[in-house]
Structure 1
Amino acid sequence: EIDVLVTAPINKDEMMKQGFKHAGHTGYFEEKFGKKGLMFLVTEKLKVAVSTHHIPVSEISKNISKQKIKEQVRVLNQSLIEDFCIQKPKIAILGLNPHAGDGGAIGKEEIEIIEPAIKELFNEEILAFGSFPADSFFQPEKYSSFDAVLAMYHDQGLAPFKTLAYEEGVNYTAGLPFIRTSPDHGVAYDIAGKNLADEQSFSEAIFTAIKIFKNRNEYQDLIENRLKPRVLAHDNGIDEDLPEENE
């Protein structure tokens, strides 16, 4: 009976102390619905997803794989089409290491994992590009050329996102079977009761969820009511519908 879900910030440390085993809402929803979610920070002009999020920095490299990146970019690509009405999305993928590895001089992940994944995605007709050095990517003339960015870890993507779009930023979980958004900030206990909190990100989370809901419904209507191709049967000269797998 509920169309969208907007979650408030939570104190992850305190919840885990009380027995909640997940480092946030996303892990709980993934387990509950058997789907992998993609952490996706969005505004009208800037959209940044992260390949790994709430894990220690020391574990980032071993949690990145070619298959994982491919699956995440497929989810990201489909979300941009269905949820944000972008017909042929262009997706930038950041490197893991400084200077995107500098040709292997500062790490091999780009050569061995990230760039092979990008090539295979491009062969699937997904417009994935990279890997780009993260330190110089978030200049307006660069990121504005793409519809979304996949960063390799939490701070690589969220630090520039929150600097550029903190007040209007929304955390959207792509890939789940329902629409879930939240503000892009934490609980802010330090300003509780001081009349200093800014509600804009929470408001944006509500309106973004509604917008995605409308976009997704419109997309489904278009898909369900699309015209199917027809061919002329060679044996009897009668128009027949193509089988679904040959459309």
Structure 2
Amino acid sequence: MVKKAENIIVGISIGDLNGIGSEVILKTFEDTRMLELCTPVIFANVKIVSFLKKELKLDVAIHGIDKLEQLVVGKINVLNVWREGVNLEFGKNDDVVGSYAIKSFVAATKALKEGWVDVLVTAPINKYNIQSEEFKFPGHTDYLDKELEGDALMLMVHDDLRVGLLTDHVPVNEVAKHLNEKLISSKIKTIIQTLKQDFEIEKPKVAVLGLNPHSGDNGVIGQEEEKIIKPALKKLFEAGNMVFGPFPADGFFGSAQYEKYDAVIATYHDQGLIPFKTLSFGNGVNYTAGLNKIRTSPDHGTAYEIAGKGVANHESFKEAVYLAIDIYNKRNDYQELIKNPLKTKEKQL
């Protein structure tokens, strides 16, 4: 059954309550036209969300529920994941508050796995205060990779600019140790499949950046390109994949070479995210590609320095909601095409 727009259920984890997560969530849905696109479910506590909307002076009508069966389409639902009060102090790094961010995220992920929500959009967490005996993951992506089927890949998206990562939350001095032909092949195949099923790009072209300055200068500045990256790309290309590189990272974005490709793969976190965030102007989205479920998030953190001041920009969170809905629809179309290729083609004609 094809869902009507407002029946697409968007699960939302509340993030760090001392950060700007709650503000960008509520500002996004303060625009009631959003409820024509989806029905949100915020995993938190209705009393806390009510308190936050008053503190932030936001005109948002929320609907509290105690179980997902009570969800009301067309309303901003807030599921009571916990009952007790939580002491909040905007801008403070607090382990207790961090534990509630994880309660929200774990509950939302469970609902996603069980099909209660169609997509998941996560508000920012603080990676330092979420660690505990029960939760020992660097962040959202690693937990989702464990809980959901597939191979998670961080893909930053803004319009036609898509930047993926071979390694994400890895110390710079360990990146080279993680690079191998199996990893490169797996990640590139994941991103190619993602471009096909989630972005409707029939024959995607992918560029890969080198690890070393000048992409190694033919082995003069490091051997990773010659010994690992180039051989892996050669095998992928010979197998029919439109994958190119490795390109020197310093000039690739400045010369706008990225515009020639459907996605760019960086070898490590900052190599990809610094140019991406420079070009996306605060409207970028972090998409966890490669999984059997859809999760997006804004491309910013908790922003403690402006939390509670009512000045947070919610555009990235709104774009994360838009992208999650768009991918949900495109993935459904792709699955229908796989099942009934002739019927789908006739429909398009």
Query: With structure 2 as the length reference, what TM-score do the two structures score?
Result: 0.64
- Counterpart among 261, 264, 282 of residue 167 in structure 1: 282
2:236 equivalent to 1:114: no
Gap change, CA 1:98 and 1:140, over 3 Å in 2: closer
State the partner residue of 2:322.
207
2:341 equivalent to 1:226: yes
Shift of 1:139: 2.9
Counterpart code for 1:163: T
Gap change, CA 1:217 and 1:140, over 3 Å in 2: farther
State the partner residue of 1:68.
183
Gap change, CA 1:140 and 1:191, over 3 Å in 2: same
- Counterpart among 123, 126, 135 of residue 241 in structure 2: 126
Counterpart code for 1:111: E
2:93 equivalent to 1:10: no
Shift of 1:55: 1.5
Describe the superposition over 1:131-180 as per-residue Cα deviations: whole angstroms up to 9, x where unpaired: 00000001363110000000000000000000110422000011111001
State the partner residue of 2:313.
198
Structure 1 unaligned segments of length 5 or more: list them: 229-247
Give the Cα–Cα distance (whole angstroms) in 1 for the partners of residues 250 and 241 of structure 2. 25
Q: Does the aligned pair in 2 maintain the 1:39–1:171 contact within 8 Å?
A: yes
Q: Does the aligned pair in 2 maintain the 1:50–1:152 contact within 8 Å?
A: yes
State the partner residue of 2:90.
none
Root-mean-square deviation (CA, aligned residues, Å) is 1.4
Q: Does the aligned pair in 1 maintain the 2:148–2:293 contact within 8 Å?
A: no
| Aligned-partner SS, 2:151 | coil
Q: Report which structure shows greater RCO (CA 8 Å, sep ≥6).
A: 1
Structure 2 unaligned segments of length 5 or more: list them: 1-115, 344-349
Give the Cα–Cα distance (whole angstroms) in 2 for the partners of residues 166 and 14 of structure 1. 28
Give the Cα–Cα distance (whole angstroms) in 1 for the partners of residues 202 and 254 of structure 2. 24
- Counterpart among 331, 334, 344 of residue 216 in structure 1: 331
Give the Cα–Cα distance (whole angstroms) in 2 for the partners of residues 52 and 212 of structure 1. 23
2:182 equivalent to 1:182: no
Give the Cα–Cα distance (whole angstroms) in 2 for the partners of residues 34 and 84 of structure 1. 20
2:164 equivalent to 1:40: no
Describe the superposition over 1:74-122 as per-residue Cα deviations: whole angstroms up to 9, x where unpaired: 0000000100011100000000000000110000000001011111111
Give the Cα–Cα distance (whole angstroms) in 2 for the partners of residues 53 and 66 of structure 1. 17
State the partner residue of 1:231.
none
| Aligned-partner SS, 1:130 | strand
- Counterpart among 189, 194, 197 of residue 79 in structure 1: 194
2:193 equivalent to 1:105: no
Counterpart code for 1:130: G
Q: Does the aligned pair in 2 maintain the 1:167–1:201 contact within 8 Å?
A: yes
Q: Does the aligned pair in 2 maintain the 1:166–1:184 contact within 8 Å?
A: no
Give the Cα–Cα distance (whole angstroms) in 2 for the partners of residues 213 and 32 of structure 1. 19
State the partner residue of 1:95.
210
Describe the superposition over 1:32-54 as per-residue Cα deviations: whole angstroms up to 9, x where unpaired: 23532000001112100011111
Counterpart code for 1:4: V
Query: With structure 1 as the length reference, what TM-score do the two structures score?
Result: 0.89
Describe the superposition over 1:184-222 as per-residue Cα deviations: whole angstroms up to 9, x where unpaired: 010001111122210000000000000000001111111
| Aligned-partner SS, 2:131 | helix
Q: Does the aligned pair in 2 maintain the 1:99–1:133 contact within 8 Å?
A: yes
Give the Cα–Cα distance (whole angstroms) in 1 for the partners of residues 182 and 329 of structure 2. 31
